[in-house]
Amino acid sequence: MERNITLDFVRGVAILGILLLNIVAFGLPKAAYLNPAWSGSVTDSDAWTWAILDLFAQVKFLTLFALLFGAGLQMLLHRGKRWIQSRLTLLVLLGFMHGILLWDGDILLAYGLVGLVCWRLIRDAPGIRSLFNTGVMLYLTGVGVLLLLGFISGDAPNRSWIPDAANLQYEQWWKLNGGTEAISNRIDLLSSNLVALGAQYGWQLAGMMLMGAALMRSGWLRGEFSLHHYRRTGLWLIVVGMLINIPAIYAQWHVGWMYRWCAFLLQAPRELSAPFQTVGYAALAFGYWPQLSRLWLVNAVAHVGRMALSNYLLQTVICTTLFFRMGWFMKFDRLSLLAVVPAVWVINILFSMLWLRFFRQGPVEWLWRQLTARAAGVSLKHPAR
């Protein structure tokens, strides 16, 4: 099957864009991921960095990746039940090992678990409209649960929002020293993430996967619509998403990042805006592809997208080395951490371009495919190398 280079590019943008947020999770305490005032106060630099990333990146690139994951499930349906279940089960195992042994910010486990449910919904959907509408309803259910949690939560901040000095010191200690203490803490965090996945986030993740599958089935994610349609749609969707998100950004700033409002209630507008901006970003890529495809950098990012899983794990290896092994953890503010991102991007790009000169797939993608074939009892007719 001929590759869709535009989709590879969009996937590459998603993987590289995710690092804009993950870099905060690598370099600062867990509380800092959503709360710029995690230390009890906030500088103008941190506040503006948070606000700009919240508008353009926060949730958006994860949502984009979920959309493409669902599109991938649609494309895999012809492989059959055994192949898909084996593939997703292996992804769950990889995510579990990644989250326990390397980094507590893993997303692979969640995508694998939700994918094991969603692929059947995609397969059995009677039509494109039904599939898309089901995705919308699931996503809105997740946002509704988020609002419900906000209404029933107390006003007093907890340690996950503004940690005290002892908690900060302990988090710094186990992240820098590693060992069994780090594994124990990552297991605790993984358990909490799984509870959140089942209660709230899993609904949104499933919704985006179904919407992505519907857009692939309709031909929209194959680029089968007019350039004018993609350009017009992309512009309007991004504008609508930003108009939903901007008031919430202002409100969080205005209330001083209070726990009840900013950890739950004012997250909802961002979550609602994300699908609009996500689909808008993809639409602009398709709409301007004749111009974009001539650029060396765009083709380089498409190489990253072809090796998305390998590059995601490579980012973990690089950043855990820098922040946990070399002691950079809690040494930089939010803005300074962004200076690390382009360097990691360059490594992702160079690694991808060099590897794909000699091989058809990334190293982890090749291993994943081989193990899937063995687990499914299928012989691979065409070598991936």
The answer to whether 161 and 263 are in contact (CB under 8 A) is yes
Check residue 79 and report its DSSP letter: G
Report residue 37: phi and psi, to 5°: -100, 35
Alpha-carbon distance of 6 to 282, in angstroms, equals 9
Write down the H helix ranges in the chain: 5-27, 44-56, 60-76, 81-97, 108-124, 128-152, 165-177, 179-196, 202-217, 227-254, 259-260, 267-287, 289-292, 296-306, 308-320, 334-337, 340-358, 363-376
User: Measured in whole angstroms, how far is the alpha carbon of residue 367 from the centre of its chain?
Assistant: 22
Q: Determine the Cα angle at 5 with ends 4 and 9, to 5°.
A: 125
The answer to whether 219 and 225 are in contact (CB under 8 A) is yes
* Alpha-carbon distances, residue 105 vs 203, 218, 301, 371 (angstroms): 19, 33, 23, 25
Each of the 385 residues of the chain gets a pLDDT tens digit; together they read 568 899 999 999 999 999 999 999 999 999 999 999 998 889 999 999 999 999 999 999 999 999 999 999 999 999 999 999 999 999 999 999 999 999 999 999 999 999 999 999 999 999 999 999 999 999 999 999 999 998 887 666 677 889 999 999 999 999 999 999 999 999 999 999 999 999 999 999 999 999 999 999 999 999 999 999 999 999 999 999 999 999 999 999 999 888 888 889 999 999 999 999 999 999 999 999 999 999 999 999 999 999 999 999 999 999 999 999 999 999 999 999 999 999 999 999 999 999 999 999 999 999 999 999 999 988 776 544 4
Task: Report the b/e string of 189-198 with b at 16+ CB within 10 A.
Answer: bbeebeeebe
Write out the two tokens for 353: 């371009």
